[in-house]
Structure 1
Amino acid sequence: MKEPRSAEAANHEDKAATSPPKPGADAKPPHAWLPSRADFLASLVVFLVALPLCMGIAIASGVPPALGLVTGIVGGLLVGAIQGAPLQVSGPAAGLVVIIVDLVDKHGLASLGVVVLLAGLMQFVAGLVRGGRWFRAVPPSVVYGMLAGIGVLIFAGQFHVMIDDDPRSGGIANLLAIPEALSKAVSPDTTLSHREAAGIGVLTIVTILAWLRFAPDKIKTFVPGPLAGVLAASLVANLFQLPIAFVSVPGDLLGSLNVPALPTLDTIGVLVGPALGLALVASAETLLSASAVDKMHAGPRANYNRELSAQGIGNMVCGCLGALPMTGVIVRSSANVEAGGKSRWSAVLHGLWLLVLVGVGSQLLTRIPVAALAAVLVYIGAKLASPMRIEQLRPYGRGEIAVFIVTTIAVVATDLLTGVLIGLGLSVAKLLLRLSKLDIVVEDEPEENRTTVHLIGSATFLRLADVAETLEAVSPTRELLLRIDDLEHVDHAILELFRTWADQHASRGGRVVFDWELLERRYHFGQAALDGPERTLGPTPS
């Protein structure tokens, strides 16, 4: 027979049952300064995911694969040790491919390091002034539209690389040239081996899909789908000695660095704009990724300002080396969490494995077909551009879907930063329309020679024409009773309209009754407005 619990014990147990667990309380290793077995195993998984992506993103960006590997190494060894999101993994990101391609086309590969260095400096300062939280204030519809636009651009550009053809200049041109690429892939009369490269690309994608569908979960944990696809394609390409393009990796990693020359003030002035765009997009992608990773585990929460500064330091180092810029990458970070990573050690060790492979096994990388890496990015691009986002936004209304679609089209048709700004502008416009919801109720009382205008909601400049037409329709000889007790907000344009019209109506012999002090207080949005004395303009009725 159980003994009855004391009231104090019962109260203590109830509090324990209802209180939320402290983040990471049961996930903290006994010696956080040493890598655990879980971190060691997770680092191997992240390394296998990062390896093909580092090289593939570099090729998609139009730079040597070694520059992508350098960014992965810096993102692991340096940023992994100081970052504010312990389970996030940093490296070259597919979302920056479009920016880098445009930058290299306009300013040359030599300018890459300077731009990345300046962007890193901006990120570092933004973190110091606690600007990390502002980069998170992006509506989900804009983020989804940005990712979908990036997906379309990656898919369209890498589709040509997947058949050993050169991508066109611009997203629209790449999309329009896809039928031509398909004809090259199936035509037997081409001088270049487009068919063989296309076959390797298709083999890579089919292997990824089959691996994800049929491979046991335990095996997929250690050998992710993209790696399985690249391994299968590399085996076939080398076994049959196909005459297609393979990855070119210099044996001397230091000799492959793109170290920039000391820039002049004129050069910096030209490159500040691209650097600012790169910093904004990289920061937004990093902090959105950190927010998503936080939802995947119960460990330590992300410190966004520290993460932003750490990314800035990493990008400054990458800029000095002339490598690709980095962000926190959701693909690698989610692989880290799913593989059981517990601390920042998994990210650090993955950078170490990349360094060891480049230093010792660089010749193995030259056996990888370029078409296989491009096919991985085609697969990633198709996932990013999935129309399933529309279904996720449907419960929130057609307005959110419209923002998503417009942002996607704008990113594809212009560039990444312009597309995001257009999406943000549309979101702000939608918000203004929602805040400017105003109902105008007019009650005419001929026997009292009075007209009552009742305003309900928010009166802003967007509804100024409607309010003005309502007031102008009032007879000059009528008394106007303006009811504003249900008016939540009034802006300066409407306030001036009321002031001017009331004086004019009184000068024509009419009479206006309204609470002017209340109206002025409602101008200050969010300030409590207490009822004040009514103001009367015009002659007093006999």
Structure 2
Amino acid sequence: MTSQLERSSPPTKRMPGASFFGADLGASLVVFLVAVPLCVGIAAASGVPVELGILTGIVGGLVVGLMPGSSIQVSGPAAGLTVLVASAVHQHGLAMLGVIVLGAGLIQVLLGLAKLGTWFRAISPAVVQGMLAGIGLVIILGQIYPVGGLEQPDTTVAKFTGLGELASAMVNTPAGQSGLGLAVLALLIMAGWKRLVPAPVNLVPGALVAVVVASAAAFALDLPVKKVEVGSLLGALNTPDLGAFGSIDFAVVGSMITFALIASAESLFSAAAVDRMHDAPKTQFNKELVAQGAGNTICGVFGALPMTAVIVRSAANVQAGAKTKASRVMHGAWLLLFVVLLPGVLGFIPLAVLGALLLQAGWKLLELKSLVQLARENRSEAAIVVFTAVMILATDLLVGTLAGLAVAVVKTAIEVSRMHVRAEHTDEHVRLELGGNATFLKLPHLLEHLEELPSDKHVHLDMTTVRHLDRACHQAVESWVDEHRRNEGSVEVAMPAKVG
């Protein structure tokens, strides 16, 4: 009897927590392997010690990873902020970086508490795409110089004018030839890894494989290339002192606001994209903005790089099977252990290989395939993307983005201000019917039609179907009616029910 009861008993179920932990543990290791070369490469491209990039990744995992907002997306230093950081360090010095990042974090916290997080989704997608494409162009134009063994010029003009010298260095100098070869090797590995290597081996990030293989080749062949300079994590801390806070001026405040807005937009757009990839609870945008702000505040205290939610790491987290926020917290713990126990490993990485890593990141930000598709569907939107990207390349990130936003607003205003005019002529009178939105943008078009009306016929001006009549057009119509009647013309006007 006992054995029969035992055979009929239901099988023991595994606790969901255990299965989730196994999935999150595996995902955290994958995200850690993705994060290491990116943290190092972004810090090097930003002109700061590489330890500060890893420190930002640690804060993104251990601090932001524990906070409410999003459960799956992963935070850390982002290629999209490289241009901002490099510009801020060049303009204000490394000592002010912590102050700027701390201020940006506090602004993000205030924006989240004011429940303004969801408003970031109202930004024109074309402007955002143009912003990312512009950042991609700046990254590409800058990172080809480390590949050739040269220092990156400070200005966009100098980067263009220095291309001839760069090409010569790649062809004629041992450092340039070696750097070019290593970069090509790394790019080929990253491009073909997922396609050529079977599962489950291809779960190892291609970027990590490229860095390991190219660095090993540089070491084995004793190539004359510059390599990452590594110190201790504690020694790299860039905590701002009281004197730095006393140096805050309008330019520094402007940098804080720029960092906060760009980092917030990138994080929340990333959240919207990542939410479509998984079935876990969706992002609470205002709470996520507070979490990002708290992370940047702590990064500012340490003088580290600013952080955002990063789509590359977040997508890797989803694809590796993460179930809860534990995966992103553990990835931060692995980063901490790595920089404490194995910091010397970073010193084997050539700067040309990191340049190749960022060249690929910049190329992805361009999204040329998406731009071509957009141009086929909506040329004006594609024009905004191109205009924003070119303005960022020609000026800077803030000016270029604001210029793109201004063009997007004007385009929307023109499209919204569509007004149709229809005229019916008889022997004795003219009926002019207006419809749509009569705004100041259509004022020249409206006056042109009114001035063409004959003065010897009775005019019936029907505006009852106008949805919106602004003050400029209203005053223009009243002025024309008064003038028409002074010239002994007969006019009758039917105004819309509501005048704006």
Displacement of 1:120 in angstroms is 0.4
1:496 paired residue number: 475
* Contact preservation (8 Å) 2:99, 2:245: no
2:77 paired residue number: 92
Aligned amino acid, residue 369 of structure 1: P
Aligned amino acid, residue 116 of structure 1: V
Q: Following superposition of structure 1 onto structure 2, how do residues 4-83 of structure 1 map, counting pairs within 5 Å?
A: 30-31=16-17, 36-83=21-68
Q: Which runs of 4+ in 1 moved over 3 A?
A: 29-32, 263-266
Q: Following superposition of structure 1 onto structure 2, how do residues 105-504 of structure 1 map, counting pairs within 5 Å?
A: 105-187=90-172, 190=173, 193-221=175-203, 223-250=204-231, 252-262=232-242, 263-446=244-427, 448=428, 450-504=429-483
* Contact preservation (8 Å) 1:49, 1:227: yes
Displacement of 1:225 in angstroms is 1.0
Displacement of 1:451 in angstroms is 1.5
Give secondary structure in 2 for the equivalent of 1:246. Answer: coil
Displacement of 1:264 in angstroms is 4.2
Give secondary structure in 2 for the equivalent of 1:54. Answer: helix
Gaps of 5+ in 2: 1-14
2:12 paired residue number: none
2:4 paired residue number: none
| Counterparts of 2:247 and 2:342, CA distance in 1 | 42
Give secondary structure in 1 for the equivalent of 2:248. Answer: helix
Give secondary structure in 2 for the equivalent of 1:485. Answer: strand
Aligned amino acid, residue 255 of structure 1: G
Displacement of 1:392 in angstroms is 2.8
| Counterparts of 2:328 and 2:161, CA distance in 1 | 40
Give TM-score, length-normalised by structure 2.
0.93
Gaps of 5+ in 1: 1-28, 525-542
Identity over aligned pairs, percent: 44
| Counterparts of 2:449 and 2:345, CA distance in 1 | 77
| Counterparts of 1:85 and 1:55, CA distance in 2 | 25
Displacement of 1:428 in angstroms is 1.1
Displacement of 1:68 in angstroms is 0.3
| Counterparts of 1:291 and 1:216, CA distance in 2 | 31
| Counterparts of 1:52 and 1:412, CA distance in 2 | 26
2:7 paired residue number: none
Displacement of 1:243 in angstroms is 2.5
Deviations 1:449-483 (A, max 9, x none): x1211112221111111211221222334321011
Aligned amino acid, residue 478 of structure 1: K
* Contact preservation (8 Å) 2:149, 2:169: no
Aligned amino acid, residue 383 of structure 1: K
| Counterparts of 1:375 and 1:465, CA distance in 2 | 53
Displacement of 1:493 in angstroms is 0.6
Range with bigger deviation, 351-360 or 261-270: 261-270
Aligned amino acid, residue 197 of structure 2: A
| Counterparts of 1:64 and 1:329, CA distance in 2 | 20
The 1:377–1:435 alpha-carbon spacing in structure 2 relative to 1, beyond 3 Å, is same
Deviations 1:339-392 (A, max 9, x none): 001111111000000000000011111112121111110111122224212223
Give secondary structure in 1 for the equivalent of 2:226. Answer: coil
* Contact preservation (8 Å) 1:47, 1:350: yes
Displacement of 1:396 in angstroms is 3.2
Range with bigger deviation, 75-84 or 394-403: 394-403
1:515 paired residue number: 494
Range with bigger deviation, 424-433 or 167-176: 167-176
| Counterparts of 1:205 and 1:515, CA distance in 2 | 68
* Contact preservation (8 Å) 2:432, 2:462: yes
Give secondary structure in 2 for the equivalent of 1:85. Answer: coil
Give TM-score, length-normalised by structure 1.
0.86
* Contact preservation (8 Å) 1:156, 1:178: no
Aligned amino acid, residue 485 of structure 2: A
RMSD (CA atoms) = 1.7
Displacement of 1:172 in angstroms is 4.2
Aligned amino acid, residue 128 of structure 1: L
Aligned amino acid, residue 515 of structure 1: A
Displacement of 1:83 in angstroms is 4.0
Deviations 1:1-46 (A, max 9, x none): xxxxxxxxxxxxxxxxxxxxxxxxxxxx8449x9611110000000
Which protein has the bigger helix share? 2
